[in-house]
Chain A
Amino acid sequence: MIQGELSETMHQRHSEHLKRKIAANASRLLDAVRQSPVRPKGLDHFIDVLDNVYVSDDVRSHLGGKEETPAVIGLYCMMVPEELIYAAGFIPLRLCGGSYDAFLVGGDYAPRDACPVVKASLGSSLRGVPSVYGLCDVVIVPTTCDAKRKAAEELSRFSEVWVLEMPHVKDSEASREGWRCQLYGLAKELNNLGKRKGSKTKINRSNLKKAMELIGAASYQARRLFSLRKLSPPALSGMEASIALSAYGFDRADIWTREMKSLNDELENRQGERVSRCLQRRPRLLLAGSPSIFPNWKVPLIADEMGADIVVDESCVGDRLLYDVAGLSEKTLDSMIEALAARYLAPCVCPVFTPNDDRLYRLIELAGEFAIDGVIYHVLKGCIPYDFELYRVERIFRERKVPVLRIETDYTLEDVEPLRTRIEAFIEMLAGKEKK
């Protein structure tokens, strides 16, 4: 028997088991946010989205259309233009995995030193749990880091995988040219897929323009949320912001934008009340490094419990994903694809790019804008690109006298207590500095 292949009934049992575990862990986190008395009402939709994905396992209820399964495409990383997917009539879902239980399953099919994101994604794909992993007609993987690239091959055992070749040196004409060709190829494949699925929609000028406006509107609301977190105290907790941003990965962009607008409106209106409730200023943290993907909230939860506010998360599941907007000046199909190619390559500061000084500038900028007291630098075991850049990040922050705490960990919970001690001491140190 090939590794990972089980008989039909055994597969069923393993899947049911994983489903129960993922649901139990996710609902514990979501319930904690639900039960918070200060939770903004506008957050409920986003909690429901994550609940639909991880707990009740029914994304149809919020993606719309009870009668038919929505045509969805799974995405890894943040370099695949969602605008093209929407224009072709599909809904993109984000599949980078954050589940501890899926990570345990995937661990048997990936090398020991592969990162937990890839292990969790493999585990979920293998068992088809949560069911969004089985729902995708096609999965698109850009060639970002080594682990993602090789995981693409393993993922192709479970669904059709398109590999998008992404250049690692942004600042060269050849890279830009190659990347543009990749996106044209992607557009063509999407049209073909549509035809195969019996859809009449093809990417054209008008639906691409509409899709760009759609994502533009989502970015606008995301940026509003970021500015609300710049306030002192921040208008919502790090966990609440993370719920809203994580839900984007599984929601339709139009619905998400609508709900985000009402959340932002509510937060703006109640800020005065929040200021008066906060008795003590909590240290403000920048969460840098590897993404803390829901439900792996190990580090952010400890920071919150120990009395600090994470006001900005630079990662691709935090504030990076929707930070930049593709400009729309000319409205020919070619110029729009050109703009998308530029938008998804140039401003992205994922450490898979070299050189990547832009990330340092971005971090300095974020630390200033968000009035940061300290940085937690999260390294997921096996995430070499982020770990490599630690030295440069530490240096720029040392020059600016902003303390940095490096936390290397994965999805297991065995090191929570030692981590708690270190994070608590770090926050205590920041609070002590502030007094002086």
Chain B
Amino acid sequence: MNWFLGIDAGSTYVKAVLIDETGFVKGRRVSATGFNAEDVASRLVEEICGEACIASCDICGIVATGYGRRRIGDAGNNVTEIKAHAMGALRNGDAENGRIRTIIDVGGQDLKVIILGDAGEIESFVMNDKCAAGTGRFLEHMARILDLSLSGMGKLALTSTSPCEINSTCVVFAESEVISLCASGKNLADIVSGIHYSLARRIARMARNASFKSGVLLTGGGALNPGLVKTLEDELMTDVHVPPYPQFNGALGAAFAALEAGQKTPLTGMS
């Protein structure tokens, strides 16, 4: 059996996905990026192989993506996040959700909107500029100042009936807005919901700039947050699909990139 591995070295987490030659997913691992993404990636490769009971030399191809993609020594090749997400979405989204035409990836410090054409090719994409407003960092920081866990915050947002108005998506400015809301005795769930709406509005604005089409797939760690999914559906006024393992979408795409490359040039020398 031939195995292929995709590594997504993101700003916050490193993700790895192992697939076999038929494209069946055999394992997934994630770990915080920390200081050295390369060491983390090597550890993940070992772990994932151990779990799947294969030797690491049985892996026919490794492709890296994400911020740290050029530093991953184990990878034979690398692709941009845009391409990886598009490839991942084709495998991740279509089966149960119908045709995916827009991918919204909410990562640790990136926000991407990718528009796909009829044949699944990348038609256009928009990414955030320098500023990390509208990304996972925003939610992480808000959770910290409210002393909530990330997962708890998403669920809490769903319970709100009258969300507070929070206008800023800048982490620093939003923090002072949130603090003054807390000081004025607002309900915690309403504040949390307001935070999610503020983020969703920012994401929706970017999606509209990219002329998004319906058939929206939400990926990245942000998609694990049910509060964000709901508020985003509300702001985009369309259904938002979330794949089973949204934060592995980029790594899955990279694994398929490795599979494609491996099929083109069979690695005859490897046993």
Contact = CB atoms under 8 A, between A and B. Distances in A.
Interface of A: 403, 408, 414-415, 417-418, 421-422, 424-426, 428-429, 432-433, 436
A90 B202 CA distance: 54
Contacts of A422: 127
B129 A418 contact: yes
B83 A425 contact: yes
B80 A428 contact: yes
Interface in B81-126: 81-83, 119, 121-125
A432 to B, nearest CB: 6
Given A432-B121, A433-B121, A436-B119, A425 B82 contact: yes
A417 B130 CA distance: 10
B129 A429 contact: no
Contact of A432 (B67, B122, B124, B130): B122
Contacts of A425: 80-83, 125, 127
Contact of A429 (B81, B119, B125): B125
7 closest cross-chain pairs (CB), A and B = A425-B82, A425-B80, A429-B122, A415-B130, A424-B80, A422-B127, A428-B80
A421 B129 contact: no
Nearest to A418: B130
Given A429-B122, A432-B121, A433-B121, A414 B80 contact: no
A403 B124 contact: yes
11 contacts: A403-B124, A408-B129, A415-B129, A415-B130, A421-B67, A421-B80, A421-B81, A425-B125, A429-B125, A432-B121, A433-B121
B127 A421 contact: yes
A415 B82 CA distance: 18
A339 to B, nearest CB: 44
A278 B166 CA distance: 55
A418 B127 contact: yes
A377 to B, nearest CB: 13
Interface of B: 67, 79-83, 119, 121-125, 127, 129-130
A347 B134 CA distance: 43
Contacts of B127: 418, 421-422, 425
Contacts of A432: 83, 121-122
Contacts of A415: 129-130
A139 B129 CA distance: 36
Given A425-B80, A425-B82, A436-B119, 14 more contacts: A403-B123, A418-B127, A418-B129, A421-B67, A425-B81, A425-B127, A428-B82, A428-B83, A429-B82, A429-B122, A429-B124, A429-B125, A432-B121, A433-B121
B253 to A, nearest CB: 12
Contacts of A428: 79-80, 82-83
Contacts of B129: 408, 415, 418
A100 to B, nearest CB: 16
A424 B127 CA distance: 12
Contacts of B79: 428
Contacts of A417: 67
B102 to A, nearest CB: 15
Nearest to B124: A403
A424 B67 CA distance: 12
Contacts of A421: 67, 80-81, 127
A414 B130 contact: yes
Contacts of B82: 425, 428-429
B66 to A, nearest CB: 9
B121 A436 contact: yes
Contacts of A436: 119, 121
A97 to B, nearest CB: 22
Contacts of A433: 121
Nearest to A403: B124
A436 B123 CA distance: 13
Contacts of B119: 436
B227 to A, nearest CB: 27
A378 to B, nearest CB: 13
A275 B121 CA distance: 30
B213 to A, nearest CB: 14
Contacts of B81: 421, 425
A341 to B, nearest CB: 41
A433 B119 CA distance: 11
A426 B80 CA distance: 9
Contacts of B125: 425-426, 429
Contacts of A408: 129
Contacts of A429: 82-83, 122, 124-125
Contacts of B123: 403
Contacts of B121: 432-433, 436
A88 to B, nearest CB: 46
Nearest to B125: A425
B46 to A, nearest CB: 28
A56 B122 CA distance: 47
Tell me which of B80, B119, B122, B125 has the highest count of chain A C-beta atoms within 10 A of its own C-beta: B80
A415 B83 CA distance: 21
A418 B127 CA distance: 9
Contacts of B67: 417, 421
A421 B67 CA distance: 8
A426 B79 CA distance: 12
Contacts of A426: 125
B15 to A, nearest CB: 17
Nearest to B84: A425
B33 to A, nearest CB: 15
Nearest to B82: A425
A371 B127 CA distance: 27
Contacts of B122: 429, 432
A436 B122 CA distance: 12
A417 B82 CA distance: 15
A429 B123 CA distance: 8
Nearest to A417: B67
